[in-house]
Amino acid sequence: MRWARRLWVLLLLLHLSLIGRVISHEESGEWSCESSSSEIHMEAAFLPGIITLDGYADDWSGIEGSEYPLLPALDPDNDKEYSGGKLTFKALHDGRDVFFLLQVDGDYAYSKGENKKCPSVSLMFQIGEDATYHNMGGCKEGRDSCTNKTCKGHEVDIMHFSIGNAIPGRLYGGNPTDSSQGNGGDRFGHLVDLYAWTPHCRYLDGTGPSGNDTNGQNNWKGAWWHSSFSGHSGFVVEDSPYGSNGQKGTYFFEFSRPLRTMDRLQQDAQFTVGGSTKMSAAFWYPVDGNAWHGSSHFSINCDWVSMHISSGKSLVGKDASSTSSWDAASAFSLLFSVISLCLSIFVIYRILGPKSAQYKPMEISLG
Ligand SMILES: *[C@@H]1O[C@H](CO)[C@@H](O)[C@H](O)[C@H]1NC(C)=O
Ligand SMILES: *[C@@H]1O[C@H](CO)[C@@H](O)[C@H](O)[C@H]1NC(C)=O
């Protein structure tokens, strides 16, 4: 029986090593603004228990991302591409929350309290069916006439993170103080939850041109980091600017939001497991140290990008790229085969082993 036990250990080790392989799924595509009709697809895989929302991207290393050139959102000309590098976008979900990582190379630029002299990122999602990427929903009404009635169907959901007051590695976004005021603000780190119908009709969740509904909430959380920082112990505001300006490196912005929110005003996009959402990502950078303007952002595409939220089921399918389905099914089958193996060895041992000699005297006595 001893060698059987060794086999069991061996099989167990084999199994563990297979679980250890972290698998990712993504789709990336080429795009050019001339052919904006060609859709780009991204995938948010179901991979629970991987991401810690702390701004460090180590936990995303096994997840493949999609890379996008960053072109000016209002003038998507290849000659005006952000010179620092591409934006890498990664997403996954755990069945409750959806997680995003935006990673952009950029020399460290930080100016405490001055959001426009620091990099900034934003995510935008389609809410209303008529909401276009271009013009943030594309409602034709002006600033004075846009309302939730005149612009119905053009709603887009926006998350914007400006880091001038946000300590790297710390969590910002929805917090009890602002939630108690019933809007999507974040007085601590400016990671805010907004909605819009046009660039000129943009409001914090829970506020609007026809008055404030105090049921708005900031459903986002997020953190940022730059690879030039040394040490992972907690920064405090006195450590600002946290690193040396001009240092080469990579910015990381990490976000999460529940798949569904309690929004009743058409101010949040709702995500469905197995469904898709139309979205975009934008990046602001203080080029040559100059403060940026609201409209001077770079964008990953000149139209919506489609993101599919994978259901857990796809992991149990035949798709070879989804071997994390190994976990439950293979553990069971391994356990089963090992038990049957042990049983057969036991039976063979009982029949052929030394103990079978004990039965001989019985046969003799019968004779
Ligand atoms: C609604 O809330 C916003 C943001 O808190 C505030 O600036 C505005 O004055 C409020 N409007 C009304 C009518 O109370
Ligand atoms: C429009 O917004 C106001 C204020 O939040 C709200 O009372 C009203 O029900 C909304 N109307 C529609 C059609 O959503």
What domains sit in the chain, N to C, each tagged with a CATH number?
Answer: 1-23+342-367 (no CATH), 25-316 (2.60.40.1190)
Structure tokens that stand for 266 in this block: 């058409």
> How many angstroms separate the Cα of 238 from the Cα of each of 22, 169, 233?
38, 14, 14
In this prediction, residue 353 has a pLDDT band, given cuts at 50, 70 and 90, of: low
Q: Ligand 1: which atom is nearest the Cα of residue 181?
A: 5
CA angle (310 as vertex; 307, 314 as ends), nearest 5: 145
Ligand found nearest the CA of 192: 1
Give dist(CA 92, CA 59) in Å, integer: 12
Closest CA to 186 of 201, 202, 175, 195: 175
Residues with CB under 6 A from ligand 1: 183, 204, 207, 211-212
What's the pLDDT tens digit per position in 212-224?
988 899 999 999 9
DSSP, collapsed to helix, strand or coil, labels residue 324 as helix
- Whether 19 has a pLDDT exceeding 50, the answer reads no
Q: Ligand 2: which atom is nearest the Cα of residue 212?
A: 5
Residue 281 Cα to ligand 2 middle (Å): 28
Least confident range from 121-135, 273-287, 334-348: namely 334-348
22 or 12, higher pLDDT: 12
pTM reported for the whole predicted model = 0.77
Residue 197 Cα to ligand 2 middle (Å): 14
Closest CA to 117 of 299, 295, 284: 284
Per-position b or e across 88-122, b if 16+ CB within 10 A of its CB: bbbbbbbeebbbbbbbbbbbbbbbeeebbbbbbbb
Residue bearing the CA closest to ligand 1, atom 13 = 211
Residue 212 Cα to ligand 1 middle (Å): 6
Residue 141 Cα to ligand 1 middle (Å): 21
pLDDT mean over 150-174: 97
Residue 194 Cα to ligand 2 middle (Å): 16
pLDDT at 362: 47
> Would you say the CB of residue 213 lies under 6 angstroms from ligand 2?
yes
77 or 122, higher pLDDT: 122
Q: Ligand 2: which atom is nearest the Cα of residue 211?
A: 4
In this prediction, residue 5 has a pLDDT band, given cuts at 50, 70 and 90, of: low
What's the pLDDT tens digit per position in 85-141?
999 999 999 999 999 999 999 999 999 999 999 999 999 999 999 999 999 999 999
CA angle (228 as vertex; 225, 234 as ends), nearest 5: 50
DSSP, collapsed to helix, strand or coil, labels residue 18 as helix
